[in-house]
Amino acid sequence: MLDLSPTSSRRFIRFSAIAAAALVAIPMHAQMEKKKPAAAGNPLLTQSDLPFHAPKFDQIKDAHYTPAFTTALAEHLKEVEAIADRTDEATFENTLEAMERSGQTLERVQNVFGNLTSAHTNPALQKIESQMAPKLSAHRDAILLNGKLFARIQSLYDRREELGLDPESKYLLERYHKDFVRAGAKLSEEDKKKLKAMNSELATLQTKFGQHLLQEKNASAVLVEKREELAGLPENEVAAATKAAKDAKKGGKFLIPLQNTTGQPALASLENRALRERIMKASLARNSKGGPYDTREMVARIARVRAERAVLLGYPNHAVYQLEDQTAQNIETIDRTLRALTPPAVANANREAADLQELIRKEGGDFELESWDWSFYSEKLLKERYAFDESELKPYFEINHVLTDGVFFAAEKLFGITFKERKDLPVYQEDVRVWEVTDADGQPLGLFYGDFYARPSKRGGAWMNEYVSQSGLFGLKPVVANHQNIPKPPPGEPTLMTFDEVTTMFHEFGHALHGLFSKVKYPRFSGTNVPRDFVEFPSQVNEMWAVWPEVLKNYAKHHQTGEPMPQELLDKMIESQKFNQGFATTEYLAATLLDQAWHRFGPDEVPKDTIAFEAEALQSAGVELRAVPPRYRSPYFSHSFSGGYSAGYYSYIWSEVLDANTVTWFKENGGLTRENGDRFRQTLLSRGGSEDPVGQFRNFTGAAEPDIAPLLERRGLDAIGTPGAPTDIPPGDS
C-alpha cells in the first residue's frame, strides 16, 4: 500500500492544492531558468541538465538545502505578489496560468528534500525539516490568504462561463477557487491570523510526529541474545538479524527491526512464543511508553487543532472538512461503506480466531489465542488446510525476476512500454536504481527510480513520489520513484520476497504508471494529483497482474534452477488468497474507524487520554478484538497524524471497491491486452486530476455506480451476509 508521508507522491508546495492536503509539485519552466548569483555552487538552484532534468544527487549536499529554501521561498513569493499586485483586469493567462508557472525553484528544492527526508534522512536533514515546516506553512498561507490574489481568482470564477475556456482550463479555475476558499480566503483578517497560527503549529507537530516514529521504530528493535531463540526463522532472516545487530554494535547477538505496522513479519515463523510476545508488545507500545519519542499528547493536540481549524473555516469537524473535497464527499457515504464491510469482516475474523484456537488446543496448547500468536498459527492452518507453506513461495520470488519479468513485463504487455536501466545517472544511495522508460511509439516517456531496501535512515511503508511532474504547459516528461522496505540480505545472498512484498511492488508501480502516463497541460493536474480517496485506485488495479497467469508464470521462477513455480504450488497459492481475510480486513477497518473517530470531534470534545479513547472507539465501532489489534495504533498512525490521510485512511478500501469493479471489467474483456491497456491509459491514467475522477471510473468501466459485491467476494466476506447493507455505493454527487 502507498504509505504516504508528508511528501510521498505529493510535494509540499503546489499551493493551490495545499488546502486539500494534496501536496503536489510545480514543474519547471525553462524560459524562466536564468542563472542567479545565489545559484553559484548550489545545484538545487539551477535546472538539472541531466536527462529528463533528473536530480544531481552526486552534487547535492545537506548544506545546500537551507540557502536553497531561503532563495526559493523569496523568489516564489515575489512571483505571486507580482500577479496579485497587477492593476489590469484579471485574465486566465495573467492570473491562473501565471500561478501555474510560478514557484519552479521551490518545487525543485522540495522534490529532492521531501523525498530524502523520507527515504534517506539524517540528523542534519531532520533539523532542517523541523526548521522549515513552520516557514513553509507561513509561505503557503501568504499565498492562499492573499486578499488581492483571491479577488482576481474570484473575478475569473464569476465570469467562468463567459471566458471561453477549454474543459481543462475551466476545471483548473474551479479547482483554484475551491482550494482558496477551503484554505480560508474568505475569512476576516483577524480569523486569518488565527488560521495562520494553527497551520504553523500543525506543520511543526506533524513533522515532529513523523520524526518520532522513525526514531522510535529504530530504538524499539528487539535484541535477541541466543540463536536458539530464533528457531523457525528462515536462515536468510537470521542472517539479516545478525547483520542488523552487528551494524548496531551488538555483535554476537541478533536484532529484529520493527516495521511501522502493528504486525511484524517475524511473528509468522518464530516458534518461541515468549519472543513473539516480546516483539508484538514492543510493536504495540511504540511511541506510548514515555520517553523522548512518546506521541500521545501530540496526537491529542493535533486532533484538537485540526478541529479548531475546521470550525474556524465553517465546518463542524475535521472529517467533514476533509471529505468535502474527496470523491466520497460526506461522512454518510463513508459510514455506509464501512457498515457494509465491518460486520462480515468481524464475523470472519471471529470464525478464523476459533479455528486458530482449536489448532492450539489440538497441539496441546493451554493458552488463549493472542495477537502474537495469530500469524504463527494462521501459517500452520494455511499449511494444514491447503497443504501449502507460504515460505515455499520465496525461492520463486527473487527481486530482479519479480521486477523485470513481472512488473515490467505486465506493463510491456498492457501498454507497450519498455525499460532500459541507466547506470550512468547519479542516485542518493547505492541501492537505488534508475530506468529510462520508452513509449510504444519509440518516444521517451520518463525515468523510473526504484528504492526497494529497508534501512535505518528510511521511514516505514511503501510509497511513490515524483521528482519532475509531466506538464504540457512546459513540455516536461515525468521522473517518478517507488520505495519499499524489503530487508536487504547479506552480501552475495539473493533477495527473496514474500508474496505481500511482491504485491506491494506491483501496487506501487501502479502509482508510477499514473505519473508516467500523465498527459495534461497544467502541473496542478499532473499524475497522482487527484483526490486522496481516488489515488489508490489505479495502483490497486495494478495488483491484479501479480497473479495473472501469464505474468505469474513469467516471473515466478526458482532463483537457483530457473524452474517455473510448480503448477500445484501455484494453484494452492491462488486458492489460498481468501484465507485470513477476516483478520486482514478487520485490522484495516479498525485503523480506518480509529482515524475517523479522531477527526469527528468539536474542539472541546477531543479526549486527552489517547489510549483510553482508542479502546473506547474500537469497542464502540465493534472492532475491538483482543487478538486483532488495529493495523496502526494512534501513537504510530503515520497516515493520520503526519501524512496526508487524516480522516482519509478509508481511501484504501474505498479505492478497492472501484478496483474490484475494474478488475471484473478486465476479466470480462480479455484481460492483459494492449487494447484494454490503451483504454485504461486514455480514459484514466493519462487524465490525472484534470477531470472528475468518478467520471473517469465511469468512462472506463461503463458502470453507473461501483458495486461493493466484487470486493466482498474477493475477500471471501460475502458468505457471511450483511442484512440491510446496500450493494451499490454511490461515490458522492461528483
Query: Environment class of residue 675 by beta-carbon count within 10 Å: exposed (0-12), middle (13-18) or buried (19+)?
Result: exposed
Q: How confident is the model at residue 84 (pLDDT cuts 50, 70, 90)?
A: very high
pLDDT digits (tens, 9 = 90+) for 547-562: 999 999 999 999 999 9
Q: Which of 648, 588, 1, 573 is nearest to 345 (CA)?
A: 588
pLDDT digits (tens, 9 = 90+) for 2-19: 433 333 333 223 333 323
Q: Which residue did the predictor score with more confidence, 366 or 34?
A: 366
- Residue identified by cell 489448532 is 359
Beta bridge partners of 450: 433, 482
| Average pLDDT value for residue range 462-479 | 95
Q: Which residues contact 310 (CB under 8 A, 6 or more apart)?
A: 316, 317, 318, 320, 321
If phi > 0 it is left, if psi is from -120 to 50 it is alpha, else beta; for residue 184 that is left
Q: Which residues contact 358 (CB under 8 A, 6 or more apart)?
A: none
For 246, phi then psi, to 5°, come to: -65, -45
With a cut of 70, say whether residue 726 has pLDDT above it.
Answer: no
Question: Which pLDDT score, from 0 to 100, does residue 725 have?
Answer: 35
pLDDT digits (tens, 9 = 90+) for 431-445: 999 999 999 999 999
Question: Which pLDDT score, from 0 to 100, does residue 89 have?
Answer: 96
The three-state DSSP-derived secondary structure of 399-435 is HHHHHHHHHHHHHHHHHCCEEEECCCCCCCCCCCEEE
Query: Is there a contact between 396 and 380 (Cβ–Cβ < 8 Å)?
Result: no
**Domains of the chain by start residue, with CATH:** 15-210 (1.10.1370.40), 220-285 (no CATH), 292-367+577-672+704-734 (1.10.1370.10), 394-576 (1.10.1370.40)
Question: Which pLDDT score, from 0 to 100, does residue 40 have?
Answer: 65
With a cut of 90, say whether residue 730 has pLDDT above it.
Answer: no
Q: How confident is the model at residue 718 (pLDDT cuts 50, 70, 90)?
A: low
Indicate the length of the chain as a whole number: 734
HSE-CB at 107 with a 13 A cutoff on CA atoms is 27
pLDDT digits (tens, 9 = 90+) for 596-634: 999 999 999 999 999 999 999 999 999 999 999 999 999
* Nearest-angstrom CA–CA distance, 213 and 207: 10
pLDDT digits (tens, 9 = 90+) for 36-75: 444 568 999 999 999 999 999 999 999 999 999 999 999 9
* Nearest-angstrom CA–CA distance, 213 and 552: 36
Q: Which residues are catalytic?
A: 508
Question: Which pLDDT score, from 0 to 100, does residue 515 have?
Answer: 97
Question: Which pLDDT score, from 0 to 100, does residue 724 have?
Answer: 32
Question: Which pLDDT score, from 0 to 100, does residue 728 have?
Answer: 37
Question: Which pLDDT score, from 0 to 100, does residue 478 have?
Answer: 97
pLDDT digits (tens, 9 = 90+) for 119-167: 999 999 999 999 999 999 999 999 999 999 999 999 999 999 999 999 9
Task: Give the sign of the dihedral formed by CA 258, CA 261, CA 263, CA 269.
Answer: negative
